[in-house]
A and B are shown apart, each in its own frame.
Chain A
Amino acid sequence: MSLDLRIPMGLMFTLVGVILSVFGLATNGSAIYAASLGINANLWWGLVLLVFGLTMFLMGRRSQARLAKLPPEPVDTSEVRRGH
C-alpha cells in the first residue's frame, strides 16, 4: 500500500487544529466559553490537535520517504511497530 494514512490524517487534524486555535484566539474571553466553565476550549484543544496532526503528518512523510529509497519488496516492519 503506497498511501500512508498518517499523511492525510495528519493533514486533517492539523487543519482542524489551526481552525480551532485561530477561532479560539479570536474569541478569547467571549461569553461562549461560559459553557466550557470559562476555559477557552477551542484554543487549548486546537493547539493539542495541531501538535498531534503535525506529528502524524511528519511521521507519515518520513516513512514514505524512507520506503521510496528502499527497494520495493521487503516491507520495513520496524516502522510498523513504531505506530503504537
Chain B
Amino acid sequence: MLNLTSVDWLIMLLYFVFVLGIGFALKRYMKTSKDFFQAGRALPAWICGLAFISANLGAQEVIGMGASGAKYGLETAHFYGIGAIPAMIFVGIFMMPFYYGSKARSVPEFLRMRFDEKTRALNACSFAVMTVFSSGISMYAMARLIQALHVFDGLFRALGWAPEGIFTFSIVLSAVIVLAYIFLGGLTSAIYNEVLQFFLIIAGFFPLVYLGLKNIGGWEGLKASVPMQYMHEWKGVAHASTNPMGIEIIGLGMGLGFVLGSGYWCTDFLVIQTAMASKDMESARKVPLIAAVPKMLFPFLVILPGLLAIGLPTPHTTTVITRGADGAIYHSINVVSPQVEQGKGLVPAKINPVTGKAMLDTNGDPLLDYDMATPNMLLHFFPTGILGLGLTALLASFMSGMAGNVTAFNTVFTYDLYQSYIHKNGSDRHYMAVGRWATVGGILLSIGTAYAAINFNNIMDTLQLVFSFVNAPLFATFLLGMFWKRATGHAAFTGLIAGTATAMIHHGLTLPMLAHPGIHGGWITVVHTYHSDMAQNFWTAIWAFSANFVVTVIVSYCTKARPESELVGLVHSLTPKPKRPENELWWQRPETLALAVLVGAIALNIFFY
C-alpha cells in the first residue's frame, strides 16, 4: 500500500507554504475591488492563458479523463479536439472583444448590458448556485481520493487519531488553504495558483507517461496491448454501434463541439474570468488561444495514463526468493491488493464492501473502478520522492479547481446579486469586504455540499444533470446576443427558460441502453433509446440549444428591439473594428495564432485517426 516518506511530505508541505506565501505576498496589492475581483485587469497574457485551461483542470479533468481513457480509449481526445479547441478559438477571436470591450465585470453583467436585468438575474443566480455545488463536488472527490489512496493514514496513525476523521481532515485542510489564499489575494491569487498547478501537473504526469510508455514497449507496444478501436479517435464514428463511446458523428460534432464545448468555454465565467483579468484587449483575445496550445497536448498527459493503465499486464502477488551473499534466504513478497488482481491492467475491480468479492456486470465480467486508473498508475510507477510530487500535483489540481469556482462565485455574488439587488451605492471598500466574506460563505456552502454528497449517493449525478440542463441552452443566448442586433431581452429570458425546459423533457423521454428509468432518463416515458449516456447527453444539449435559439428568434420578432445606439460595443455588426496596435507584425496578431492552433489541432486529429 501507499508508503509515504518524509521526502514526499516535504514536497507537499513546500507546495502549501508557497501557495499561502503567494497569497500573503499579494495581499498588499489588493487596494480596490478591481484588484480583488478582476486582478486589476493587469496580468500578462501567458499567465491568464495558462490559468484559463487550469481553471478547468480540476478533478473531472485529471481523474475523469484518465478514467475515460481507460474506458473508451483515444476517442476521449474528442473532448479536446472537438470539445475545446474550436470553442477556444471562437471565444478568443469573436467573443472576447465584447466581453472585454464592454467593460463588464462578469458574464452575467454582460447579459444585463446586452439584454436586461431579468436575464442577468436568472444567469447570476443559476451560476452562483452551480459554482458552489461544483466546488463542493470537487472537495468531496478530493477527500474520497485521499481516503482511497490512504495518503493521510500514516499521519493519522502516527498522531493516534481515528482514521474516520480523514475525510473531514481533507475537507477542512483544502477549505482552509483555498480560503486563505483567495481571502488574501483574490482573483490574482487564484490565477497564480492555477498557473502553479499547471506546471505541477506537467511535472507530475510527464514522467508518469514516460515510464508507462517505456514499460509497455512504446507506442507500438501500447497498440498491441489494447483493443484496436481504443487507438483510434475517428474510426467507427459514423455509427453509434461501432465506436466505444456509442456516439455517431452528428451527435458528436453538434452536441460536443457546437453546444457543450462552446457553452462551456465561451460562456462559463469560471474560465472567462481569467481572460478578463488580462491587461488589454489584445492580450484578452490571445488568452484562449494561448490556452489552446497546451490544451492540444494535454490528451497525452491526462488520457494516456488511463489507456496505459488498462493496457499494462495485471500485477499479481509474487514471491521472489533470493539467496544473499551470506547464504541467507530472502523471501521478498510483492503484495497486490485483491481489487487490482481482479481488475484489468492497473484498473482495479469494484469490490462489494460486504462480501469482499468483485462486483460483476450482466455478462459476468468484473466492474472496473475507472476513476482509480490514473491514481494507480502513480502508485505503481513512482518511487517515494517523485511520488510526493505526483500526489502534490493531484492535490493542487483539486484545490485550484475549487479556487476558480470560489472566485467566480464571489465576483458574481458581489457584483450581480449584492450590488444589484441588496445594497446599491456602497463604497468600493465595502464591496471588497463583501467579496471577502462571500468567499467565506461560498466555501462554507461547498463544505455543506461535500457532506451532503456522502449522505445522498445520488446527489452528484443529480447535480451534474441539473447543471447540464441549465448550461446546455446558454450558448445560443450569447451567440444571438453578440451577433444579431435584433435579439431582445424578453426573448433571451424566455429562450433560456425554454431551453432548460426542453433539456429536461428530452431527458425525461429518452434512456441510454441497459439503464433503468429514473436518474438516467426516461422518467416521463421512454420514446427513444441511445447507445450510451454520453450520446444522450450530447443530444439533450442539441435539443436545448435549438429550442433556445428558435424561441429567442421568434420572441425577438414579437418584441420591441433596443435602439442601435445602445448596443454599440455589445453586438458585432454595430461595433467598429478595434484599431490594430502600431508596428504590429503579422505573426503577432491573434488571428495568426488562431490559425496556427487550428492547423495543429487538425494535425493531431489526423495523427490519432
A interface residues, Cβ below 8 angstroms from B: 1-3, 5, 8-9, 11-13, 15-16, 19-20, 23-24, 27, 32-33, 35-37, 39, 41-42, 45-46, 49, 52, 75, 79-81, 83-84
Contact = CB atoms under 8 A, between A and B. Distances in A.
A38 B389 CA distance: 19
B188 interface: yes
Given A13-B203, A80-B46, A84-B49, A42 B196 contact: no
Interface stretch (B75-83, B169-177, B380-388): B380-388
A41 to B, nearest CB: 5
A44 B377 CA distance: 19
Interface string B26-41: 1001000000000110
B11 interface: yes
The 9 closest A-B pairs by CB, nearest first: A83-B46, A42-B385, A80-B44, A32-B383, A84-B46, A12-B18, A41-B386, A1-B42, A23-B385
Contact of A8 (B22, B188, B214, B215): B22
Contacts of A3: 22, 25-26, 29
Contacts of A23: 7, 385
A9 to B, nearest CB: 6
Contact of A12 (B15, B45, B207): B15
B15 A41 contact: no
A14 to B, nearest CB: 11
A53 B225 CA distance: 37
A84 B44 CA distance: 11
B381 A80 contact: no
Interface string B281-301: 001000000100100000000
Contacts of B150: none
Contacts of A2: 29
B10 interface: yes
B588 interface: yes
B10 A36 contact: no
Nearest to B6: A23
Contacts of B7: 19-20, 23
Given A1-B39, A3-B29, A42-B386, A83 B44 contact: yes
Contacts of B192: 5, 8-9
A13 B392 CA distance: 12
Nearest to A79: B44
Interface in B495-511: none
Q: Which residue, of B14, B22, B29, B386, has the highest number of chain A Cβ atoms within 10 A?
A: B386
Given A32-B384, A41-B211, A12 B14 contact: yes
B21 interface: yes
Contacts, number: 106
Chain B interface bracket (under 10, 10 to 19, 20 to 34, 35 or more):
35 or more
A2 B45 CA distance: 15
A20 B196 contact: no
Nearest to B280: A77
Q: Tell me if B's interface is mostly helix, strand, loop or mixed.
A: helix
A35 B380 contact: yes
B600 to A, nearest CB: 14
Given A2-B29, A39-B211, A41-B207, 17 more contacts: A3-B25, A3-B29, A8-B25, A12-B15, A13-B203, A15-B14, A19-B7, A24-B385, A35-B383, A41-B211, A41-B385, A42-B385, A45-B203, A45-B207, A75-B279, A80-B283, A84-B49
B199 interface: yes
A66 B142 CA distance: 42
B314 to A, nearest CB: 16
Interface string B436-456: 000000000000000000000
B201 interface: no
Contacts of A45: 203, 207, 386, 389
Nearest to B50: A84
B336 to A, nearest CB: 13
Contact of A9 (B46, B199, B382): B199
Contacts of B214: 37
B270 interface: no
Given A23-B7, A45-B386, A8 B21 contact: yes
A18 to B, nearest CB: 10
Contact of B383 (A5, A16, A41, A79): A41
Contacts of B121: none
Contact of A1 (B18, B43, B195): B43
B588 A81 contact: yes
A17 to B, nearest CB: 9
A9 B196 contact: yes
B211 A36 contact: yes
Given A3-B25, A3-B26, A12 B196 contact: yes
Contacts of A27: 385
B583 to A, nearest CB: 11
Contact of B11 (A11, A19, A32, A36): A19
B460 to A, nearest CB: 33
22 contacts: A1-B42, A3-B22, A8-B25, A9-B18, A12-B196, A16-B11, A16-B389, A20-B7, A32-B384, A35-B380, A35-B383, A36-B382, A41-B383, A45-B207, A52-B199, A80-B44, A80-B45, A80-B46, A81-B588, A83-B44, A84-B45, A84-B293
Interface string B387-414: 0010000000000000000000000000
Contacts of B283: 80
B544 interface: no
Interface in B186-239: 188, 192, 195-196, 199, 203, 207, 211, 214-215
Nearest to B3: A32
